[in-house]
Amino acid sequence: MCSMKLVGRWGLDAFLVLFAIGEAVAILLSASDVRWIAALLAVVSTLVLIARHGRPLVVSIVSLLALGACLFVLREAPTVVFFSLMVTFAIVAAINKTRDAVIAWAVGAALIAAGAWLSSSGDPLADALLTIALCTVTWIIGLLLSRRTRQAALMALRLELTELERARAVQEERGRIARELHDVVSHGLTVVVVQTLAARGAVDDLPPQAAAEVDRHMAAVETAAREALADMRTMLGLLQPDEADPDTLAPPSPRLADIGQLCDRARAAGITVDDTDVDPSLQLSPALELSVYRIVQEALTNVIKHAPGAQVRVLLERHDDDVCVEVTDDGGTLVGARSPVVDASGGRGVIGMRERATTYGGTLQAAPASSGGFTVRAVLPAIDGKARG
């Protein structure tokens, strides 16, 4: 639409320039003694319309005055000047609002009447009425074309605004759906994952065969919940493409920065967690960050399972070439009565944490603390982050 406006604007400007040249040539070819002055006035009356975008009424009156002066100077004007008068009336009607167009028409009609009255040849009244009638016809045509053009432009603008409003409404609806999915479904799946982790730890008290069967089913539940969470993140990214990071469209792996959320979920499960000693800005490889996250996750799960109501301190820091992660609890409401499956000899959770640590050339210690609780401490090399085969 902008290109069409430019074509229309510059097309009219080009027409005005060519028309001014034609007027000047026609007047200069006449036998009038004042043809140079008349040609200059005719050119001014036409070219001044190029400045119509600033103050169109002023420009219109100046153009009509210059053209009236041209007619008065020539007395016997060539036909092109009368044609120029009709074209000027049409342009004046097109570039002004209706009220201003009427004012310009009145000024032009008065100039025509004055020029005809001052002319010494012919019938002044008849010449004036005929010229005014012809100019009025072109003026009406210009006014009608202007209204039609403005209505078309207004309609196009309304359609554009409607389209923008529709697109905004769609985006807002997508955002609302995304928020509801996140608040309802994603939260519920997160709780399922946390509670499943806690339930899997309880199977250690069952006979080995039953424990293996229950653990298999709980693992399936955990896997399904995690996959649903990943799919949910992908769906949220698709619903809010402008706000989503492209990396979130792939199932994300937990990082050190996610330990804070892990601690929040543990607090919701009934334990008190102090994670002020966690430094999530440590520069580690993604695989090593995942292992650290899983160790903290498993340790907190054991606390929820075996020491309800406990106060827990989570520490994560780097010493030279090693990263140290430590989770210590005070025993909670079961001080001194912790299940033996989490002692140093190792239950399944401790075995899994130790395997993660040794895979990266590190060590893990899991033993009762002097305060009556339990401590899990892992030290992992933080330089190369390469796993051992």
> The CATH number of the domain where 379 resides is what?
3.30.565.10
Measure Cα distances from 62 to 179, 236, 282 in Å.
62, 63, 76
Amino acid 240: pLDDT: 60
End position of a domain, from candidates 121, 150, 185: 121
**CA torsion 380→386→387→389, rounded to 10°?**
-140
pLDDT the model gives residue 327: 93
The answer as to whether 381 is a domain residue is yes
Q: Is residue 180 part of a domain?
A: no
Tens digit of pLDDT at every position of the chain (389 positions):
444 344 455 777 787 788 778 777 777 777 667 778 878 887 887 788 887 777 888 888 888 888 777 777 776 666 777 788 888 888 888 888 888 888 888 888 888 777 767 665 667 677 778 888 888 888 888 888 888 877 777 787 778 777 877 887 777 777 767 666 665 566 566 667 666 776 666 666 677 777 777 777 677 677 767 767 676 666 666 666 554 444 444 445 678 888 888 888 888 777 889 988 888 888 888 878 888 888 898 888 888 878 878 899 999 988 888 899 999 998 876 444 444 334 444 455 787 788 878 877 889 999 888 778 899 999 988 764 443 43
What is the pLDDT, as a whole number, of residue 180? 62
38 assigned to some structural domain: yes
What is the extent of the structural domain holding 369? 256-389
For residue 304, what pLDDT is reported? 81
Q: In the listed set 87, 104, 121, which residue is the last one of a domain according to the structure?
A: 121
Q: How distant is the alpha carbon of residue 2 from its chain centre?
A: 23
Listed residues 121, 148, 180: the one ending a domain:
121
244 part of a folded domain = no
Task: Report the domain count for the chain.
Answer: 2
The span from the first CA to the last CA of the chain, in angstroms, equals 65
Assess if residue 61 is contained within a domain.
yes
Q: What is residue 247's predicted lDDT score, i.e. its pLDDT? A: 45
In the sheet that holds 374-381, the strands lie side by side as: 272-278, 311-319, 322-329, 374-381, 363-368
Whole-structure pTM value = 0.40
pLDDT confidence of residue 200: 66
Contact status, residue 236 vs residue 228, Cβ threshold 8 Å: no
Distance CA 236, CA 347 (A): 38
Would you say 3 and 158 are in contact if contact means Cβ atoms under 8 Å apart? no
Q: Is residue 7 part of a domain?
A: yes
Q: Would 249 be classed as within a structural domain?
A: no
